[in-house]
Amino acid sequence: MGRVFAVALAILFMSVALASAADVKKKFTLESAKANSDVQDVLNGDITIYWGTQAHPQVEKELGVYKTSKRTNGFMKAEEEACSHALASALIVFQERARKEGGNAVIGLQSNIKNQAESSETEYSCLIGSMMVNVALKGKVVKLKK
């Protein structure tokens, strides 16, 4: 009976520790994310991505501002690897939206963790929890002049 109580108590303490562990927002460079083959594949696609205030060709037509939030399992994975995977998933959502709306680019892309937009041309933010990571983005889908 004593062992059962000890195991139950240990499980309770672990659950409380995991539940109370706050998510931590970290920044990673876009350059290092590009080393991830999933991110490379997305960025080499037919929809061009422009981060923050990066210069881009003239906008022919604005097709809307969109948001996405993608999570992935971060358990037993390196933080940056898990965050790069979530970034790739979020970028795919933007590319699919651009195709659906008739666009050829996403401009002004920025991190949008907990609806707090952060613009950068060199970094993205990732929310890291005990079991999951989350990348949230916001950007404008457009058709650029060629």
Domains belonging to the chain, first-starting first, are: 23-144 (3.30.110.70)
Phi and psi (nearest 5°) for 118?
Answer: -135, 115
Whether the CB-CB separation of 142 and 103 falls below 8 Å is answered with yes
Closest by CA to 140, choosing from 90, 79, 87, 98, is: 98
Number of H helices, E strands in the chain: 4, 7
pLDDT, tens only, 106-116 = 999 999 999 99
pTM equals: 0.84
End-to-end Cα spacing for the chain: 75
**For residues 42 and 51, what is the distance between their CA atoms, to the nearest angstrom?**
14
Residues 81-101 pLDDT 10s: 999 999 999 999 999 999 999
Look at residue 19 in the predicted model and tell me its pLDDT.
Answer: 45
Output DSSP code: residue 58.
P
Please choose, from the candidates 53, 37, 33, 36, the residue with its C-alpha nearest in 3D space to the C-alpha of residue 120.
53
